[in-house]
Structures are given as C-alpha cells and as structure tokens.
Amino acid sequence: MHSTIQKDEIVRLLEEIGTLMRLAGENDFRAMAFDRAARTIESLEGDISQNIEKRTLTDLKGIGKSIADDIYTYADTGSVPVLDKLKERVPDGVITWLGISGMGPKKIYKIHKELGITEISELKEKCIDGSVAALSGMGQKSAEKILKSIAWMEQFSERCRIDEADAIAQLFLTSMQDADGVQQISVAGSLRRANETIGDIDLLIAADDQFTGSLMKRFVELETVVEILGQGETKSSVRTQEGRQVDLRIVAPKHYPAAMMYFTGSKEHNVEMRRRARSRNYQLNEYGLYHQNDEQQADFDRPLDAGDEAAIYKHLGLGYIPPELREDHGEFDLAADGKTPELVELSDLRGILHAHSTWSDGKKSIREMAQSCIDRGYEYLSITDHSRTAAYVGGLSIERVYEQWKEIDRINDEFAKNGTPFLILKGIESDILSDGNLDYPDDVLKGFDLVIGSVHFGLDYSPEKMLERLKNAAANPHIHMIGHPTGRLLLNRNGNKVDLHQLIPFAAEHKTAIEINANPRRLDLDWRYGKIARDSGLLSAICPDAHTIEGIEHVRFGIGTARKAGFTARQILNTRSIDDLIKWLRQKS
C-alpha cells in the first residue's frame, strides 16, 4: 500500500469516478453509490489507512464490497480499472465542459451524445447555430446561458481562486524557507494583496549572491514542478502540476524591502508611489529609495535609510499601507496624515456567525462544529442552517427548527455545567423570497438569535427588481444581516446586478449588516465597496459559511477581503464579545 495515501485522495478518486460515470451515461444509481462512499469517507474520523490495511472498509455504512475492492486496488497499485476504463470512454474535451457554470454531467452527456461534439469550440458553434436550443429539454435560454458561461470561463481561464493559489504558494514556501542562504522569503504580487483571483504566483527571497544558483536549482527541481519556463540567476519561472505559473526572484538583502514593495504592486499603486517620491526629489525603484542626482535620476551613492517597507512610506509622508490596500483605490487618503487605520486582524475575531450543520447540508453535527470553534479559541458560534425554502439542501421545516433549538439548549446547558465559556447561538440562513420577505412567519423569526437573509434563486432579476428585493429584506426588523449580497461564484458565475452603492447605505440606515462571505468561492461583499461601506457606517461580519470543520478556516480569506475594504475591527460584528454581540442583535429585533 502507498504509505502516503490520504483520506482526501480517496474522496477525490470516488468523486471523479461518479462524475465520469454520469458523463459516460451510466446508470445514475451506480454513480450515486460512489458519491455516498465519498461522503462516508469524507466524514470518517481519523486515518483511513487502518481500514485499508485491515480490509474493513465494508464495515463503514455506505461502502459496499465492489467500491471497497476498488479502493484496495488503488491503495495497492495506484490505479483502479473502473476509472481507467471510464477515462477511455469519456473524451478529455467533454471533461472540460464541467468548468462551464450550469453544465452538470447529465446535460453534458445529452449534448455530447446527441450532437456528437467534444470540444468547447464545437459547443459554442452549436449554441450559436441553434442546435443546442433544438434539443429536448433545452431551448434558446439554455443555449444563451451556456454561451455566457463559456465566455466567463474563458475570461478567467488563466486565473485561479485565492485559496488554490495560497495552497501552491505555501508548498513552495515550505520547501524553500529552510534552504541554505535564505534570509527572508515571502509571497508577493496579487496573492500578497489578497486579491480574490490570482494569475501568476510571485515569490521573493533575500539571499547573498553565492546562494542564488543553488536556490534556483532547488526551486526548479521541486516535485510539484512539471515544466521549467525559464531559469536565470535572479529570476526563474515554472509551471506546477495544477497548471499555475510560479515566479521566483532573488534579491540582495539590502534591496529586499523595496523589492517587496515593487513586486507586491499593484502597478497603479507603484506609479503613485514613484510620483510621490519624485515630488520630494527622491527616486523609488525595486532596489531602494534614493536621492536624485543632477540629472533627476537615482543617486545610488545616496540611499535613504529604508530597512523595511514602513520606512519607505514614512519618507514619503505616509503611514504604512498594508499590502491588501495597495490598489490605488483610496489608500493614499487613508494614510495621508502619516497614520493608517489599524485594519482588522484574524486575531480580532471572537466568534463564528455563519456555519451549517448536519441539520441541513453541513457535514458535521452542531456539537462537532462547536467543539472545533472552542479548539480554535473562539467564544461563540451561530448555527445558521438553511431555511425551509431550500429543501434541496435539507432546509429546516418549522417543526425541525424547534427541534434544533432544543438540541442547542441541551449543548449550551452542558457547556454551562462544565464551566466551558462558550455559547451556541440559534441562527438561520433564511431564503429571501421574490418580494424580499423571508420564508418563516414573524413568530418563528423572533425566536432566532441571528437571522441571515440570503438570495439563492432569481439571481437574474433586473437591477431594479433585485434592489427592491434586497431593500425590503434589509428593512425587515427580523433580519440582522444580508448574506453573500451578490451571490457570485468566482471564476464560475457572475453575481446578481443589485446596485450596492444604493443597498449599502440603505442597509446601514436600517442597522442591517452585510456579511463578507469568506468562502474563497465567493468573497462577497466585494472589497471595492469598502469606501461607501465605511462612509455609511455599515457593519459587516467575516463569515466562513462553513459546511465542514475545515471550512471554519476560511475566515482568513475573509480577513484579507475586509482589510482590502479598509475595515477596522470596530466595523466587524464578530470581533465583539458575546455580551456586546447579543446586545446588538436584540436591539435590531
């Protein structure tokens, strides 16, 4: 057996088999069996290798003998015949269709089989010439949506989500940071600025000249590298197995602060920084900050003391501008008096306000989610399972709401008796209906500690209708917070067309918060609305929308978005103590 086999690896294997079965047109019940097995293993506590070694996978509910044998074969040989055969039957081109928003395996199989096409270019042609619309169950609207989704996917084909880029970057950092000669190492570029999506991944190392050759050799020979795009003394570029480009630059330690600023960007921020330097008769470049000579060029014999980035900003009469703000999006105004507001930090968060449990579509019980929060040092958790309109993900009927409240009361009583300083709040993520109302009567809504109102259907409403819908929701006295306000899915689906410049001040006026959904697939509220949010006094919360224990960690991506928006801890609800939070929640109701 492969000693390095992990639970997640088996989950991905089973999910891939189930997906390819549907793409091959096989019986859906067989594909569902692999889906169920994947969910079983995903929720398994501990190491799966013990079950594999002892051949006890069939003891787990949801895993039959055939699937267990497939897993054993994979563990022993690194491959599994059923998957190999499916890959032979399903063209690679058809598999890429899965990246098209709204194109599930069944729809893909139907179009592929009936039109005999495999490439996205062919799919576009068939949508344009009416062939797709003519298929039973499709129609012109379906064809138009497919075309829009393809255009969206192609626009961002060279980018990835921040969590995907971060995982790759951390692998490189871990592999390089202990190498001989490394004095400092960091990510740079858009990843350091916490952008929602990332193109190339930039790394920067401070090292003396005698180490650059060995460091570059180590970099290009890392296991994850599949292609060397370029290799030099100070810069090398590689392609990873995920298809991402990673660039490494090595600079002399004395140049590291200026290089970090330069290679972090953004381009627009750097242009303004250089302009400010020139206005003071300085020259700023990737090597440092220098006095100008008579030709108004950098006098490299007269550098200004710049031991870190903060020193460079100080020389230019600015407070330190954190990387997340460096977009030339108002940050110079924030730092103009030599001080920059202290932005919210991950350590400021005291609780989690948007999380799901097995009562709806979460993967862990309320107790497990609470314990995970306790283990991370949080003081409270609001369980916000889906409401009854979202029956497709186990939304709660009114009867089940009352049952869940009893369970929360029991667990909270146990915590109190055990002296555990932690509180579970009774929350709900209630669907905002077409008219802006919620899908529970007022007497039920009053019983929740926290109500998040979210739009999950009708995302294609006109801007006017969507604004009216969300304004009605924000004015509802029972709603504390609007969840993922645009409903966007990064690199997959554009959000609704609500005018946030109107919604944000309206929500602030009605003391309704708008969350920053920290799931890296969303990061919604968009940071670009930070100024109007700050000016209007909008409150927000950094919410992981966690469906798993691991999902709680997504708050760190939400912190990046909040910092890009210029938010301080005072503007984030879940930096408050439980007493202050409850006081705010009750005054809103």
Tell me the CATH number at 26: 1.10.150.110
Could you tell me if residue 339 is inside a domain? no
Asked if residue 482 and residue 387 are part of one domain, the reply reads yes
pLDDT value of residue 103: 80
DSSP conformation letters of 380-396 = EEEEEEEBTT-GGGTPB
Asked if residue 371 and residue 416 are part of one domain, the reply reads yes
Asked if residue 187 and residue 150 are part of one domain, the reply reads no
Low-confidence stretches of the chain (pLDDT < 70) are 1-5, 43, 45-46, 101, 155-157, 589
| Domain count across the chain | 4
Length of the chain: 589
Domain stop point among 203, 219, 251: 251
Asked if residue 182 and residue 131 are part of one domain, the reply reads no
Asked if residue 294 and residue 269 are part of one domain, the reply reads yes
Asked if residue 428 and residue 395 are part of one domain, the reply reads yes
Asked if residue 263 and residue 146 are part of one domain, the reply reads no
Asked if residue 494 and residue 546 are part of one domain, the reply reads yes
Domain stop point among 309, 334, 359: 334
List Cβ neighbours of 124 (8 Å cut-off, separation of 6 or more): 147, 150
Cβ 479 vs Cβ 515: under 8 Å = no
> Which residues on neighbouring strands pair with residue 568, listed in sequence order?
343
pTM for the whole thing?
Answer: 0.78
pLDDT value of residue 285: 93
CATH number at residue 185: 3.30.460.10
pLDDT value of residue 5: 67
Could you tell me if residue 362 is inside a domain? yes
Asked if residue 175 and residue 320 are part of one domain, the reply reads no
Could you tell me if residue 535 is inside a domain? yes
Q: Tell me the backbone φ, ψ of residue 157, rounded to 5 degrees.
A: -65, -25
pLDDT value of residue 43: 66
Could you tell me if residue 341 is inside a domain? no
Q: CA 260, CA 158: separation in Å to the nearest integer?
A: 24
Could you tell me if residue 30 is inside a domain? yes
Asked if residue 299 and residue 405 are part of one domain, the reply reads no
List Cβ neighbours of 134 (8 Å cut-off, separation of 6 or more): none
Q: What per-residue string of b and e applies to 181-203 under the rule 16 or more CB within 10 Å gives b? A: bbeebbbbbbbbbbbbbbbebbb
Report the 10 Å Cβ neighbour count for 117. 21
Could you tell me if residue 529 is inside a domain? yes
Asked if residue 381 and residue 276 are part of one domain, the reply reads no
Residue 211 belongs to domain spanning: 160-251
Could you tell me if residue 491 is inside a domain? yes
Q: CA 11, CA 3: separation in Å to the nearest integer?
A: 17
Asked if residue 406 and residue 320 are part of one domain, the reply reads no
Could you tell me if residue 2 is inside a domain? no
- Check the CA dihedral 405-407-412-417 and report its sign: positive
Q: Which helix (H) or strand (E) holds 501?
A: helix 500-509
